[in-house]
Structure 1
Amino acid sequence: MSSSRRVLVVEDEPVINQSVSDRLTAEGYDVVQAYDGPGAVAAFGSAAPDLVVLDVMLPGFDGHEVCRRIQAERPVPVIMLTARDDEADVLVGLGVGADDYLTKPFRMRELVARVAALLRRVDRAAELAARRPLELDGMTIDGAARRVWCDGAEVHLTPTEFDLLVCLAAEPGTVVTRERLLADVWGWPGGSGTRTVDSHVKGLRAKIGSERVRTVHGVGYALETDGPR
């Protein structure tokens, strides 16, 4: 359990909001609740949560707008809850800074597992602060600042896109399986959720250039570079 970590739960359905909040509280998290877009942004500013569980459909303004506003204020891991398993909706969410998504109805234990996995990634990110920037074929990856430059221009990545890039860059030119990416980046053992990997790779390609990430169909992905310089 992790009593020192605070989670903001944003869901307009009171029963779902309370069920999620009760389960996370039972797991040892400090939970703050909000029920609409404006309330979510206000709660984020006052409570300073370590992670946000965010429904897409909200009164006031939707979860995508909430995500835009809170990520502009301070980068934070976000799990979005969506009623539709639609790739367009997922990509919009990832594009505004969400790290993960769950389609309703979902199993509470899966939500808890994903919350824990995202928070572990935050802890691992701190380890990057001690590393020197990595130079790879015109791309610079600064782990301490969590910033990336391609051919001299800064590229703005979501937290998940950055972690995905770091994982691929650790072995440039080597194919990394989807299952390993799920385990190393998301903390999900067992290989369930490869569509999540594919969606994030699509977003990463759009920002650093599609030619930099090679697909090996049925296996995984490789970062195409000339190697460390």
Structure 2
Amino acid sequence: MTAPGTVLVVEDEPSIADVLEIALRYHHFEVMTAGTVREGLTLAERTRPDAALLDVMLPDGDGRALGRELRIRQPDLAIVFLTARDAPAEIVGALAFGDDYITKPFNIDEVIARITAVLRRTRADDVLPERPPLRYGDLELDETTYRVHRAGRTVELTPTEYALLRFLVRNGGRIVPKEQLLRHVWQYEHTPPESTVVETYISYLRRKLEPLGPPLITTRRGVGYGLA
């Protein structure tokens, strides 16, 4: 069976790293493990994994900084953070450089599901047919190269930001409920109502799109989001 992908696990607690490695290998992933930021960078440079599962608190640095550096080196890398902190500020800090986060203690089945979901969003098929660009107003999304332009200017998006924007564009001017966004973009089936992942990524999109034109993303409080 062909491996569904290669995952770099950077976790300094040996017992947790072992559990993650065993579970990922059971689900046919190739797995590499590291216990420090330095080891993680070295492994990633040598093997170019498909996904990285990063502990936020590492003995020689911050996992979020590691995620930022990995994203610079490999823009299409899927990144999921493991964090013992669930304060909104901590989660926002993690999502700034990653595609998802999981709080400790975690359910191992959830970890596998999240890794699979981010890989589904970030990894294209081996051969992609040529697709016409998606357009909405002055916004253009190239579904072959995954590039985004607004008013003729390039907008640099992470894979999850792109997936969210594409889903909004495909729904035109319709308000998309938050639950539907979680289901289609993040593949969440059951998410705590206090989850702020959608709001966080909407703010990222606004920050990148609004300097190039009038406000584009609208909010229907208590319902969801759409395009103006």
Q: Tell me which of 186, 189, 211 is aligned to 2:215.
A: 211
Measured against aligned partners, the alpha-carbon deviations of 1:171-221 in whole angstroms (never above 9, x if no partner) come to 211111112111211122245574222221121111112821111122211
Is the CA contact 2:135–2:169 (under 8 Å) kept in the aligned structure 1?
A: no
Q: Tell me which of 222, 225, 228 is aligned to 1:221.
A: 225
Within-5 A mapping of 1:164-175? 164-175=164-175
Distance (whole Å) between structure 1 residues aligned to residue 127 and residue 190 of structure 2: 25
> Are the structure 2 counterparts of residues 111 and 83 from structure 1 closer, same or farther at C-alpha, using a change threshold of 3 Å?
same
Say how many residue pairs are matched.
223
Query: Which position in structure 2 is the counterpart of 1:227?
Result: none
Query: Which position in structure 2 is the counterpart of 1:86?
Result: 87
Distance (whole Å) between structure 1 residues aligned to residue 209 and residue 177 of structure 2: 20
Query: Which position in structure 1 is the counterpart of 2:143?
Result: 143
Q: Which structure's residues are more often helix, by fraction? A: 1
1:11 aligns with 2:11: yes
Distance (whole Å) between structure 2 residues aligned to residue 137 and residue 171 of structure 1: 13
> Are the structure 2 counterparts of residues 118 and 139 from structure 1 closer, same or farther at C-alpha, using a change threshold of 3 Å?
same
- Fraction of identical pairs, as percent: 36
Measured against aligned partners, the alpha-carbon deviations of 1:141-162 in whole angstroms (never above 9, x if no partner) come to 1222212122232221111000
Measured against aligned partners, the alpha-carbon deviations of 1:58-110 in whole angstroms (never above 9, x if no partner) come to 122211221111111112111011111122222222222x0000111111111
Is the CA contact 2:82–2:102 (under 8 Å) kept in the aligned structure 1?
A: yes
Is the CA contact 2:10–2:33 (under 8 Å) kept in the aligned structure 1?
A: yes
Query: Which position in structure 2 is the counterpart of 1:56?
Result: 56
Query: Which position in structure 2 is the counterpart of 1:46?
Result: 46
Is the CA contact 1:183–1:191 (under 8 Å) kept in the aligned structure 2?
A: no
Within-5 A mapping of 1:72-83? 72-75=72-75, 76-83=77-84
Query: Which position in structure 1 is the counterpart of 2:29?
Result: 29
Question: What are the ranges of 5 or more consecutive residues in structure 1 without an aligned counterpart?
Answer: 225-229
Q: Please state how far the C-alpha of 1:135 moved relative to its aligned partner.
A: 2.7
1:100 aligns with 2:104: no
Distance (whole Å) between structure 1 residues aligned to residue 132 and residue 73 of structure 2: 27
| TM-score, scaled relative to structure 1 | 0.89
Moved more, 192-201 or 126-135: 126-135
Measured against aligned partners, the alpha-carbon deviations of 1:25-70 in whole angstroms (never above 9, x if no partner) come to 1111111001111111111111221111011111222112211111
Distance (whole Å) between structure 1 residues aligned to residue 126 and residue 218 of structure 2: 28
> Are the structure 2 counterparts of residues 117 and 72 from structure 1 closer, same or farther at C-alpha, using a change threshold of 3 Å?
same
> Are the structure 2 counterparts of residues 29 and 189 from structure 1 closer, same or farther at C-alpha, using a change threshold of 3 Å?
same
Is the CA contact 1:10–1:55 (under 8 Å) kept in the aligned structure 2?
A: yes
> Are the structure 2 counterparts of residues 182 and 27 from structure 1 closer, same or farther at C-alpha, using a change threshold of 3 Å?
same
Question: What are the ranges of 5 or more consecutive residues in structure 2 without an aligned counterpart?
Answer: none
| TM-score, scaled relative to structure 2 | 0.89
Within-5 A mapping of 1:113-192? 113-123=113-123, 130-192=130-192
SS at 2:173 equivalent: coil
